[in-house]
Amino acid sequence: MNNIVQITGGVTAPQGFLASGLACGLKKSGKPDLALVYSDPVATGAAVFTTNKVKAAPVLVSREHLSQQNKRAVIINSANANACVGPRGMADTLTIARALADLLQTTPDELFLASTGVIGVPLPVPPILAALPTLKENLSAGGGTDAARAIMTTDTFPKEYAVAYQHDGREIRIGGMAKGSGMIQPNMATMLAVLTTDAPVPQAVLQQTIRAVVDRTFNRITVDGDTSTNDSVFLLANGAAGGPPVTGGPALAAFTAALEEVCRHLAWMIVQDGEGATKFITVRVTGARTEQEAETAARAVANSPLVKTAFYGEDANWGRILAAVGYSGIDFAPEKTRIRLGELLVYDGAGLAFDEAAAKRILQEKAITTEINLNQGEAAATIWTCDLSQEYVRINGSYRS
Amino acid sequence: MNNIVQITGGVTAPQGFLASGLACGLKKSGKPDLALVYSDPVATGAAVFTTNKVKAAPVLVSREHLSQQNKRAVIINSANANACVGPRGMADTLTIARALADLLQTTPDELFLASTGVIGVPLPVPPILAALPTLKENLSAGGGTDAARAIMTTDTFPKEYAVAYQHDGREIRIGGMAKGSGMIQPNMATMLAVLTTDAPVPQAVLQQTIRAVVDRTFNRITVDGDTSTNDSVFLLANGAAGGPPVTGGPALAAFTAALEEVCRHLAWMIVQDGEGATKFITVRVTGARTEQEAETAARAVANSPLVKTAFYGEDANWGRILAAVGYSGIDFAPEKTRIRLGELLVYDGAGLAFDEAAAKRILQEKAITTEINLNQGEAAATIWTCDLSQEYVRINGSYRS
């Protein structure tokens, strides 16, 4: 898959996709809070949603819309999650869906909808309805970044990525945008992503592929272990690149690899932008008997407040890492285990008298990898996370706006 | 059990118990770091240990000593955990056990041993051996507080509690000391407690009782969700109060209730002294189908960094509480659920327009209770925790001394 190249344009990088973003008044700050991604020709649509038992209204509506294979557009508002507001939540989302469907001369079930922001406060519907015509007028092939900005909440920068690759003499493009920040954890907590491609992919194949790719990318990151009520990843494929349907073989392998690259980069951006994050931490568990076991151990380490604060403090505290593996629930032998910070071996069945200065140099880096080798098998898994800083507490200990 | 009264004296409150604590040089600060609790007459001994797969040497040794019913003493050092140092860890603990056994004219297996502090650094044995004679000479019936001080690590105050109750015309006393602070979570992470009683309780009954009581007290508190390698709770019963063996019926019921009161108060002190804690949070889940389900949900809420930072910020953020129940894994109906902050109902199947001023008054309290009523059964469970402050991050983001 070495023919995958990064390109600009985000969700509007692929042919046939338009996007727009504007401020309709949901954010007190006056910043953009409403985004639309539109496809012409009509696309097939797939999606993966939060596993949280508490699901926001737009998640429930979009999930129902999966029964319709075709998708025209994705609309997302920030500043309000339209979650936990009772029956009116569904009514409000359906009202917006109907109005947008009329405007785009399509049906509500050809739309995906998402909301992100404050929970438990009724969604202000009138300002959204009033903004729809302008949102449509503003649609443009260069509007990817506007849309990416409009879905931000506590994010400090818009998150976009796009790639192109050649297959059978055709160029296929895949673009994406995401928002993350607080409450990011496995199963896509308060994480939204919209992915677009001009590859011709049948809906069933698209759904299988996005689920598998999300499990290896967005579901392998964590900021604070919390998971939210609104997470959604949408993927639209409009076939504008032409060629035969992508249903398997090399064509699907190439598409999956490119999609995974886009999702991995968006996931990394979310971790890098984790609330108060000062370091990007890669926790890799190797030598496990199964990938599940490796992932369980890596997740425990990545979610440990003591490990995360140690990285924040640039403290070579492998004891906290080993202790986290110890309570992860997996069976392993501490006396056979090896722990590395970067390339530096700090624990080998017992603590080592390692070079403190070398450790300090590694821990002062912005990106740090720790490898825990359980030495009891061939399986491995990686979880990406960030450190836990005083800034995280400051952000989450005060009201959001 | 209304005849249970609080008394002073900690571990030396019951008849026949002596204790001492001194500084042998493990703590750079020169503060006390070695504690001894001794019983004459000889006691029966029970203990519960960490569930972490990574167990410190003294935990492994003390666990083996459970096969010996009689116990003479408990020795605890702070500043060094004697964990993850390889085979020498066991050798060092056994060396200390042999030396103390000779000094007390008993056998090593009549001793419980514990260590708490830095992981992965070899335990300095000579200073401990050198201090043993003085530690023995200093044993006194008023030494409970000295011992409680000597087991502190990042604790900001010594933790002692004792009660007395009448049974069949006899006074029975139960005393205890504990240390906690960072890394406290279910299954007693980096938590040590020594409990003493002059009740005559056979070892088998003592073991059953302490396990049940620990599950309802020390295992229901959490500070940061991490669990450690050294946690141990010891209980010695020397029968000095006289009377028939406590094996069941009202005698055991009274003993269990009194022991639970001591353990609950020690557990509360540990939470109140959680690293950087500014508030004591009681998370109570009611209306659950099973106690296990209630505990799972309460634990998820109590361990959520977002919930804990919201309490720190005095933010009535019931959305984070509901979201935590949502990802706890239990099955429940958000639309049937009720959430209270103190007495204030803030969520009733949907967010309520509650009195912000009233909420603020409740959240400004040092002790806050939140009740989540799932409305689908009769079971309930309570988890005690503290808020997550910037001070927690500061403490854990820098090297300990």
pLDDT tier, B230 (very low <50, low <70, confident <90, very high otherwise): confident
pLDDT tier, B320 (very low <50, low <70, confident <90, very high otherwise): confident
Minimum-distance CB partner of B388 among A51, A318, A393: A393
Q: Are B160 and B202 in contact (CB under 8 A)?
A: no
Closest residue in B to A395 (Cα) is B309
CA nearest A92: which of A74, A66, A115?
Answer: A115
Q: How open is the CA angle B313-B316-B320, to the nearest 5 degrees?
A: 90
Please state, in angstroms and rounded to a whole number, the distance separating the CA atoms of residues B69 and B45. 6
Please count the residue pairs, one from chain A and one from chain B, whose beta carbons lie less than 8 angstroms apart.
195
pLDDT tier, B191 (very low <50, low <70, confident <90, very high otherwise): confident
Q: What is the pLDDT of residue A58?
A: 96
Q: What is the pLDDT of residue B187?
A: 36
A332 contacts B397? CB cut-off 8 A: no
Handedness of CA A47, A53, A58, A64 (dihedral sign): positive
CA nearest A383: which of A338, A324, A332, A319?
Answer: A324
pLDDT over threshold 90, residue B52: no
Gap from B74 CA to chain A (nearest CA, Å): 25
- Outline where B167-275 has alpha helix (H): 203-216, 249-272
C-alpha count within 13 angstroms, C-beta hemisphere, residue A12 = 19
CB distance from A353 to chain B under 8 Å? no
Q: Are B150 and B21 in contact (CB under 8 A)?
A: yes
Contacts of A351 in chain B (CB under 8 A): 84-86, 119-121
A401 is in an annotated binding site: yes
For tokens 């209630």, the residue is B294
Minimum-distance CB partner of B310 among A54, A224, A396: A396
pLDDT over threshold 80, residue B223: no
Output the average pLDDT for chain B: 91
Q: Are B400 and B152 in contact (CB under 8 A)?
A: no
B183 contacts A226? CB cut-off 8 A: no
Q: What is the pLDDT of residue A3?
A: 85
Contacts of B187 in chain A (CB under 8 A): 327
Neighbours of B160 (CB within 10 A): 24
List, in sequence order, every residue forming a beta bridge with A195; answer none if it has no partner: A176, A235
pLDDT over threshold 50, residue B401: no
A54 contacts B120? CB cut-off 8 A: no
- Per-residue pLDDT averaged across B242-246, rounded? 96
Contacts of B345 in chain A (CB under 8 A): none
Mutate: best of B279, B327, B387, partner A, most A CBs <10 A: B327
Q: What is the pLDDT of residue A40?
A: 97
Expressed in angstroms, the distance from the first to the final Cα of chain A is 43
- Per-residue pLDDT averaged across B276-304, rounded? 93
Contacts of A53 in chain B (CB under 8 A): 325-327, 330-332, 334
Catalytic (active-site) positions of B: 190
Catalytic (active-site) positions of A: 190
Q: What is the pLDDT of residue B303?
A: 87
SS3 call for A31 = coil
- Give the highest mean pLDDT range of A171-185, A306-320, B209-223, B284-298: B284-298
Q: What is the pLDDT along chain A (401 residues), one digit of tens a residue?
A: 458 999 999 999 999 999 999 999 999 999 999 999 999 999 999 999 987 888 899 999 999 999 999 999 999 999 999 988 889 999 999 999 999 999 999 999 999 999 998 888 899 999 999 999 999 999 999 999 999 999 998 888 999 999 999 999 999 999 999 998 654 443 334 789 999 999 999 999 999 999 999 988 998 887 665 566 788 999 999 999 999 999 999 999 999 999 999 999 999 998 888 777 889 999 999 999 999 999 999 999 998 888 888 898 888 889 889 989 998 989 999 999 999 999 999 999 988 888 989 999 999 999 999 999 999 999 999 999 988 877 767 766 654 32
Contacts of B306 in chain A (CB under 8 A): 182-183, 224, 226, 396
The DSSP code sequence of B310-346 is: HHHTT---HHHHHHHHHHSS----GGG-EEEETTEEE
Contacts of A318 in chain B (CB under 8 A): 120
Mutate: best of B396, B399, B400, partner A, most A CBs <10 A: B396
Rounded to two decimals, the pTM is 0.80
B138 is in an annotated binding site: no
Q: What is the dihedral of CA A391, A216, A59, A84, to 10 degrees?
A: -40
Two tokens, residue A373: 């080798």
φ, ψ of residue A19 to 5 degrees: the values are -150, 160
A227 contacts B313? CB cut-off 8 A: no
Which of A 315-334 lie inside 8 A of B, CB atoms?
315, 318-320, 322-327, 330-332, 334
Q: What is the pLDDT of residue A19?
A: 98
Please state, in angstroms and rounded to a whole number, the distance separating the CA atoms of residues B177 and B232. 12
CB distance from A2 to chain B under 8 Å? no
Q: Are B189 and A305 in contact (CB under 8 A)?
A: no
Pairing of strands B170-179, B192-197: antiparallel
Gap from A286 CA to chain B (nearest CA, Å): 18
Neighbours of A58 (CB within 10 A): 30
Q: How open is the CA angle A337-A351-A277, to the nearest 5 degrees?
A: 80
Q: What is the largest CA-CA distance in chain A?
A: 70
Q: What is the pLDDT of residue A397?
A: 63
A187 is in an annotated binding site: no
Closest residue in B to A302 (Cα) is B226
Q: Are B205 and B177 in contact (CB under 8 A)?
A: no
Expressed in angstroms, the distance from the first to the final Cα of chain B is 43
Which of B 190-249 lie inside 8 A of A, CB atoms?
224-229
Q: What is the pLDDT of residue A398?
A: 54
pLDDT over threshold 80, residue B399: no
Q: How open is the CA angle B114-B120-B123, to the nearest 5 degrees?
A: 50
pLDDT tier, B180 (very low <50, low <70, confident <90, very high otherwise): confident
